[in-house]
């Protein structure tokens, strides 16, 4: 029969609809106000901590809805009031060893979680969260670049055996002093040839000590600024993604600013910690030629520096850095097989591997130290006002004798526990900021405003949906009802696919869904009008149904493909909100074609395919 689907096709349609319902369902359960307790360095999350927290909340008469224990504790509450009260109490109790942050956790039932079904993410304008405008310190970026070049110039002169008095970075330039004019002249020629992006000239004011002034060219200065901005964006993306903030928006604004939006984050202090958290490693040779006690007494030898170690003592290291965290391309935490202690396995890039190879080959039998460097930003009350205080913590976490030659891959031990090793590996993978950042604008979108946007968006979808339903049912009778069922199914498929992709729904995304609701019935209108034409031409109802679906397909495909191309272009060239609109529009186009053509055809076949028809209500 011409209007009949084989059994397998009907089964496939039924299964796809069931799966769509399962993966769309988590979105109706909402979210629980929650408190997340995460360990700081050295702290652990275990059953004892959870028991202690439950006892504390019980004594404070705060009911706990549920709790989940993994790498951190997630405490669920019945309402926002209980959440805020619990967070204040736990911050006072756990401030030294844990970070207590507000959160919103999906209230998806266990049976849906078993299918790995999760709600779609909501954007900043719907869920609430924090918005930051960060400014990159370009002067610091240039200073870091100048310091790197000073080190490179010093190393190059040594390799070329050009003896110099001093190489120092001063006032945005590098000054290179010599004893003899002949060496000065040779160095000037070779440096100009070796470092083409820099400008070298003789300082006429120092004839007694011939001096070369090295300065960055304007093109090099622009490249340094551009690199600092792009590298900071990449680092922030990696860091926020790895620390678990869902679907952040991190993008450039102007020549030196970065916009960061973190949906769902209510605790701005915690958000600042995420953005500003930095941890890196430096590898130094231990200074075994001079006395540590003399250095502690104030007689620190030139080229060396005192560092604290984790045992409370001090150690003297060479200032020259072998490799830094910026040369680390990968890092993973684990357990050392021999001692059972926590360690981080490190992989270096090409230049870093060469430097490590050269150092270890020349210093077998000598001790090398690993310095852990952490930049912290704490908020303190000064005269009743919160003030951000920056500090740098440097400590030696490991000293080991170089027993053999190695280069790109090696292990770093001396960490307190596996949690610290995991956090350090995470931040090393994310990378270090290429230049410091300052928060110049901070804005919080509250959950209540987000909920208002959700309500308005839902109402717009609902009103458009109902109006289309009424029109189709009145105008096309039974076939209009089939189109209405397909339209409802289409919305379920859109929500299910957005949830499966863990895409972020924003207000522009809702606009895309509203547009899809209006466009989704276009295909059915074309089909139904074609069926009416076939009936007017004297064809039988069954033949008219078959011809209507077959002949309208090419027109439907052409119309939807052109719209899909426009949506893809919007996604490729648009910014965050435009991308959100393009995603929902693209998904809506594909699902509407499926439901309008295949879905309604299945309903029509089931209703009319096995019947002898003389008339057709359409």
Question: Tell me: the pLDDT tens digits for 218-275?
Answer: 888 888 888 888 888 887 877 676 555 556 778 888 888 998 888 766 666 666 766 7
Comma-separated ranges of CATH 1.20.1640.10 domains in the chain:
7-26+448-608
- By the 10 Å C-beta count (0-12 exposed, 13-18 middle, 19+ buried), 200 is classed as buried
Range list of β-strands (E), 172-310: 173-177, 198-202, 211-216, 249-253, 257-263, 278-286, 304-309
Confidence tier at 40 by pLDDT (50, 70, 90): low
Whether 551 shows a pLDDT value over 90: the answer reads no
16 band by pLDDT with thresholds 50, 70 and 90: very high
Percent over 70 (pLDDT), the chain: 88
Alpha-carbon span 363 to 367, nearest angstrom: 8
Inter-CA distances, 297 with 272, 294, 314, 317, Å: 39, 5, 12, 16
Q: Give CATH 3.30.70.260 domain extents, the chain.
A: 31-106
Task: Tell me the C-alpha distance between 571 and 576, whole Å.
Answer: 9
CA dihedral 299, 301, 307, 308 (to 10 degrees): -30
Residue 309 pLDDT > 90: no
Q: Whole-model pTM?
A: 0.60
Domain 139-220 belongs to what architecture?
Answer: 2-Layer Sandwich (3.30)
Q: What is the pLDDT of residues 77-121, one digit of tens each?
A: 998 889 889 988 888 888 667 777 777 788 888 899 888 888 887
Please tell me which residue, 45 or 24, carries the higher pLDDT value: 24
CATH of domain 31-106: 3.30.70.260
- 542 pLDDT above the threshold of 90: no
Residue 204: strand, helix, or coil: coil
Decide if pLDDT at 1 tops 60: no
**pLDDT for the residue numbered 171:** 81
Residues in the chain: 618
State pLDDT tens for residues 363-378. Answer: 988 888 888 777 665 6
For the chain, give the mean pLDDT.
Answer: 82
One of 3.20.20.70, 1.10.10.10, 3.40.50.10490, 3.30.1360.200 is the CATH number of 277-431, namely 3.30.1360.200
CA distance 108 to 68: 13
| Residue 177, C-beta contacts closer than 8 angstroms, at least 6 positions apart | 164, 165, 166, 167, 206, 209, 210, 211
Q: What's CA 258's distance to the chain center, in Å? A: 14
* φ and ψ of 484, to 5 deg: -65, -40
- Provide CATH code, domain 7-26+448-608: 1.20.1640.10
Q: Is residue 493 scored above 90 in pLDDT?
A: yes
Question: Residues of CATH 3.30.1360.200 domain(s) within the chain?
Answer: 277-431
pLDDT confidence tier of residue 20, bands split at 50, 70 and 90: very high
Q: CA–CA separation, 504 vs 386, rounded Å?
A: 33
């Amino acid at each position: 029969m011409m209007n009949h689907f084989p059994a397998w096709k009907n089964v496939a349609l039924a299964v796809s609809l069931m799966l769509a319902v399962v993966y769309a369902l988590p979105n109706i359960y909402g979210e629980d106000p929650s408190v997340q307790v995460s360990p700081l360095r050295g702290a652990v999350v275990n059953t004892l901590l959870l028991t202690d927290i439950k006892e504390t909340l019980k004594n404070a008469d705060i009911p706990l809805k549920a709790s989940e224990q993994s790498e951190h504790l997630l405490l669920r509450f019945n309402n926002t009031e209980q959440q805020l009260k619990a967070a204040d109490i736990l911050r006072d109790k756990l401030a030294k060893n844990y970070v207590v942050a507000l959160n919103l956790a999906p209230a998806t039932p266990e049976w849906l979680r078993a299918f790995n079904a999760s709600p779609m993410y909501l954007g900043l304008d719907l869920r609430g969260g924090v918005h930051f405008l960060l400014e990159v310190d370009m002067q610091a970026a240039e200073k870091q670049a100048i310091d790197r070049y000073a080190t490179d110039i010093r190393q190059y002169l040594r390799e070329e055996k050009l003896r110099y008095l001093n190489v120092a970075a001063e006032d945005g330039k590098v000054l290179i002093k010599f004893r003899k004019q002949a060496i000065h002249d040779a160095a000037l020629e070779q440096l100009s040839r070796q470092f083409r992006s820099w400008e070298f000239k003789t300082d006429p004011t120092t004839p007694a000590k011939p001096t070369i002034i090295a300065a960055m060219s304007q093109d090099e200065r622009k490249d340094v600024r551009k690199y600092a901005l792009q590298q900071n964006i990449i680092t922030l993306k990696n860091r926020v993604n790895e620390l678990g903030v869902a679907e952040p928006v991190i993008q450039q604004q102007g020549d030196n600013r970065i916009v960061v939006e973190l949906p769902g984050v209510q605790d701005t202090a915690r958000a600042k910690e995420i953005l500003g958290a930095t941890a890196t490693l430096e590898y130094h040779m231990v200074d075994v030629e001079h006395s540590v006690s003399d250095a502690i007494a104030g007689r620190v030898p030139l080229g060396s520096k005192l560092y604290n170690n984790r045992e409370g003592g001090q150690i003297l290291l060479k200032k020259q850095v072998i490799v830094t965290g910026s040369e680390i391309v990968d890092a993973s935490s684990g357990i050392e097989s021999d001692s059972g202690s926590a360690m981080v396995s490190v992989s270096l890039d090409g230049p870093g591997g060469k430097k490590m190879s050269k150092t270890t080959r020349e210093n077998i039998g000598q001790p090398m130290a690993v310095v852990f460097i952490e930049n912290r930003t704490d908020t303190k009350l000064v005269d009743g006002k919160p003030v951000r205080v920056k500090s740098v913590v440097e400590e030696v976490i490991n000293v080991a004798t170089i027993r053999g030659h190695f280069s790109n891959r090696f292990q770093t031990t001396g960490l307190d526990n596996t949690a610290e090793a995991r956090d350090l590996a995470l931040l090393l993978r994310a990378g270090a900021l290429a230049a410091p950042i300052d928060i110049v604008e901070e804005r919080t979108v509250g959950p209540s405003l987000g909920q208002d946007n959700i309500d308005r968006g839902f109402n717009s979808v609902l009103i458009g949906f109902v109006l289309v339903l009424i029109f189709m049912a009145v105008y096309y009778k039974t076939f209009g009802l089939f189109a209405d069922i397909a339209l409802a199914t289409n919305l379920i498929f859109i929500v299910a696919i957005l949830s499966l992709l863990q895409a972020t729904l924003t207000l522009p995304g809702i606009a895309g869904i509203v547009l899809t609701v209006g466009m989704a019935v276009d295909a059915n209108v074309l089909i139904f009008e074609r069926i009416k034409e076939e009936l007017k031409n004297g064809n039988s109802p069954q033949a008219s149904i078959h011809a209507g679906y077959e002949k309208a397909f090419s027109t439907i495909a052409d119309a939807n493909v052109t719209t899909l191309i426009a949506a893809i272009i919007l996604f490729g060239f648009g910014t965050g909100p435009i991308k959100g609109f393009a995603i929902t529009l693209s998904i809506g186009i594909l699902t509407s074609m499926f439901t309008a053509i295949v879905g309604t055809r299945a309903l029509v076949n089931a209703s009319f395919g096995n019947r002898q028809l003389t008339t057709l209500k359409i």
